[in-house]
């Protein structure tokens, strides 16, 4: 799938996560450590709550609450990409030595259309 990924930006990814919520879908996660064949951690079918944190001198970040777990990704230290298929979103956030993959559940055509605007 990585050859289909398109470079993105933090605000766009937050918007995609918001669309996931808007249409009542869920998200799954794989936390992949560089050099390891299998993911370090995985989560399946959890509600995701995104927030774009502007920062107060400490730097901007995307904060994602996935189920009972909260992740914070500093903007300056990560690269962001996305893939929008006919039925779901794939989102990747890459930091030094790791990549975190998010896959949405099924998104209806209306949600896909909104995401592609």
Question: Which residues lie closer than 8 Å to 66 by C-beta, 6 or more apart?
Answer: 27, 29, 43, 46, 47, 48, 102
Instruction: Write b or e for each residue in 16-42: b if 16 or more Cβ atoms lie within 10 A of its Cβ, otherwise e.
Output: bbebbeebebbbbbbebeeeeeeeeee
* Closest by Cα among 66, 72, 65, 83 to 12: 83
Task: List pLDDT tens digits, range 59-112.
Answer: 899 999 999 999 999 999 999 999 999 999 999 999 999 999 999 999 999 999
Tallying the residues shown for the chain, one arrives at 117
Give residue 99's pLDDT. Answer: 97
Give residue 55's pLDDT. Answer: 73
The domains found in the chain, sorted by start residue, are: 2-116 (2.70.180)
Instruction: Among 5-14, 50-59, 92-101, 107-116, name the one with the lowest average pLDDT.
Output: 50-59
Is residue 5 a contact partner of residue 81, using CB atoms and an 8 Å limit? yes
pTM for this structure?
A: 0.91
pLDDT over 70 at 57, yes or no = no
Rounded to whole angstroms, how far apart are CA atoms 27 and 19? 11
């Amino acid at each position: 799938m990585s050859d289909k990924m398109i470079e993105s930006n933090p605000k766009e990814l937050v918007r995609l996560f918001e669309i996931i919520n808007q249409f009542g879908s869920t998200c799954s996660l794989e936390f992949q450590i560089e050099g390891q064949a299998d993911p370090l951690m995985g989560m399946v079918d959890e509600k995701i709550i995104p927030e774009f944190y502007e920062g107060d001198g400490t730097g901007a970040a995307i904060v994602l609450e996935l189920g009972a777990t909260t992740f914070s990704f500093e903007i300056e230290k990560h690269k962001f990409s996305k893939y929008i298929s006919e039925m779901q979103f794939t989102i990747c956030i890459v930091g030094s030595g790791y990549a975190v993959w998010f896959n949405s559940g099924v998104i209806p055509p209306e949600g896909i259309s909104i995401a592609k605007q």
